[in-house]
Structure 1
């Protein structure tokens, strides 16, 4: 999963300036798919200005590519939502409308639909927070008016990727997921097919120290194995790390070592230093 978090020191291979402007993020997203051959790109709504027309621009500017590599099927764009505990609620509503609009647009012009179906919830600390996001989305998706109607076949439910960012939360994240399954069944009357718990590696090390963070992640991953057996549901854990050793030490030169260190991880976050501070060929090979 490509992250927009900037930690690079060199110029991206596709432009002359080291600084990536908001207006250049559409291009970066497409090149991450088409040239670096990544499968997922995180579109960050948290604490920053964001281009809300990302789907329209990707599909219109790169029509043939996404016809061949459909968003939501072969390539994945995943919104990192603003957490309503910290940011104003109108940003969350705009993100929801973007997801719903993308679903309708893709269907109307003959692309795979929905192109967006998962969202990342930062700073997750409880199952109730996860359910609240899904409830809010369902209510917005059900709005009807003479001037607009998302339709009965439109996207009504989104999958939540909980981002656990504190050592104590990471350790007990399996308990949060267990409560989430219980509430999900009660509220929506079905069990999720899978879960993608997202374990932060970079920030917890800064806040709680390197050793506690590494141990917490390994404890969490160990708990997930038992969780799968107990609840008969697949977990696909994500880890968020950076290139500096203290923040995870993930570089094109350390991929195999990193994967051994955090065995059980299914998705790895790739920040900008990984992509732009090393030779492009080695980056593609590492990915």
Structure 2
């Protein structure tokens, strides 16, 4: 699944001053399909969204979608809509998005004739906290979008007589689960939802970035593995196939999925069915590596999830998360200052949701953070990789158990910490973190270290005109911005 997460350091040629916007996202979708992706997330949460995406794809790239990869059969658009229960100021955008589903079908029908499949078949609901939220989306579409076709207008003329039939008759709703309590009850949410609907299968989207933002890398991995195991057991219990989606970025803090290390994802998450291919994956590596990485993802066959001793794992999560949040609280002003100077890669609107686009640290309403990508960019840009935060609370037994349930733990840390600045780590976090840095680091990238020193010195001196350039150059060395 190609997504629009703006974690890329390098910009594609259709970006404007480094920013992907407007019809650039149409080009991006076609490019993602040509790279081998079979699904494009179309995000109306927190940004202006082109509701005519299907019309533009089929109109501007008719040869490709007629002769190479048919929209609706070989490729699909999957909408991510605001959650009306959480994102109050954006809830009407959910209605607008659902209203566009039959229009997209009509456009595809006009293009392909009767041999047509819906170009939009599923809706992603972020911040899912209950089965009712999922049921409301499905019911609204079926009862009010499609259901209006049978209503009379004037006399005996129905809406269907006037503007035609509404297809498809149903859509599937994918819960995107992001918060601790919901990830540890994802099986309960999905079980209750499926009691009300007959579905041949169910996709479940499990976040990786926002759990890391709230609980640190260790906490995010534990929550993800617990959720995957719960979903796997639910499939066995119900007999309904479950297809987990994992929202992973390139940086270890956000999931460590790159074109050159797809095997890591299958080692850690064997039950995964779909992985997100975010912007850094697509734009920060040579094209042949990207197509090869996507082919490896598509070739993966689901296996049973790894079992996990949830009680023991959650005890480690609690220790690491408390220490992580303590350190983030102290770093918050610095993170905000650096984030404000970071280059932007996609047009976004600021809004406040469950945590907001400026997000409150879990358990700390007085601490507001940027979104996960900007947060990660800021910390890498001063030489303090966020993967390090929280580890000082763990003992040797904790580390030993982590290596059992998280085989890539040491590798992920080594990858991240090569971009650390030892001076900044010692200055901002203290000697215990400096010693952890030495313990888990194989080699420091000295060029990157120099750029982080320049970022820090420029901000301290108030000479910030070149900070964005330094941050971008450091991101290009890493092959991700945040």
Q: Could you say whether these structures have the same fold, taking a TM-score greater than 0.5 normalized by the shorter chain as the test?
A: yes
SS where residue 196 of structure 2 aligns?
A: helix
CA distance in 2, matches of 1:153, 1:45: 22
Partner of 2:258: 251
Partner of 1:193: 200
More divergent stretch after superposition (238-247 vs 103-112): 103-112
Note the alpha carbon deviations across 1:170-205, whole angstroms, 9 max, x for none.
Answer: 121011111111122xxxxxx111101000011111
Q: Contact 1:40/1:75 (CA < 8 Å) preserved in 2?
A: yes
CA distance in 2, matches of 1:121, 1:224: 17
Does residue 156 in structure 1 map to residue 161 in structure 2? no
Partner of 2:124: 120
CA-atom RMSD, angstroms? Answer: 1.7
Does residue 231 in structure 1 map to residue 238 in structure 2? yes
State the TM-score, normalized to the length of structure 2: 0.56
Partner of 2:210: 203
Structure 2: which 5+ residue stretches go unaligned?
295-482
Q: Aligned to 2:92, which of 69, 90, 93?
A: 90
Structure 1: which 5+ residue stretches go unaligned?
185-190
Does residue 23 in structure 1 map to residue 23 in structure 2? yes
* C-alpha displacement of 1:168: 2.1
SS where residue 50 of structure 1 aligns?
A: coil
Note the alpha carbon deviations across 1:260-286, whole angstroms, 9 max, x for none.
Answer: 111110100111111111111111111
Partner of 1:187: none
Does residue 41 in structure 1 map to residue 45 in structure 2? no
More divergent stretch after superposition (10-19 vs 256-265): 10-19
Q: Aligned to 2:183, which of 164, 170, 174?
A: 170
State the TM-score, normalized to the length of structure 1: 0.92
CA distance in 2, matches of 1:147, 1:18: 49
CA distance in 2, matches of 1:56, 1:134: 24
More divergent stretch after superposition (163-172 vs 81-90): 81-90
* C-alpha displacement of 1:127: 0.3
SS where residue 112 of structure 2 aligns?
A: coil
Q: Contact 1:125/1:169 (CA < 8 Å) preserved in 2?
A: yes
Q: May I ask how many residue pairs the two structures share in their alignment?
A: 280
Partner of 2:147: 142
CA distance in 2, matches of 1:24, 1:16: 8
Q: Contact 1:167/1:212 (CA < 8 Å) preserved in 2?
A: no
SS where residue 246 of structure 1 aligns?
A: helix
CA distance in 2, matches of 1:175, 1:147: 41
Partner of 1:55: 54
Query: Which structure would you say has the larger Rg?
Result: 2
SS where residue 228 of structure 1 aligns?
A: helix
Q: Contact 1:77/1:116 (CA < 8 Å) preserved in 2?
A: yes
Q: Contact 2:207/2:246 (CA < 8 Å) preserved in 1?
A: yes
* C-alpha displacement of 1:17: 4.1
Partner of 2:303: none
Q: Contact 1:9/1:18 (CA < 8 Å) preserved in 2?
A: no
More divergent stretch after superposition (114-123 vs 102-111): 102-111
Partner of 2:73: 73
Runs of 4 or more, structure 1, over 3 Å off, are 13-17, 144-148, 150-153
Partner of 2:405: none
More divergent stretch after superposition (106-115 vs 203-212): 106-115
Partner of 2:4: 4
* C-alpha displacement of 1:141: 1.3
Note the alpha carbon deviations across 1:120-165, whole angstroms, 9 max, x for none.
Answer: 0000010000000011111211213458526557212110010001
Select the structure with the greater relative contact order (CA < 8 A; seq sep ≥ 6): 1
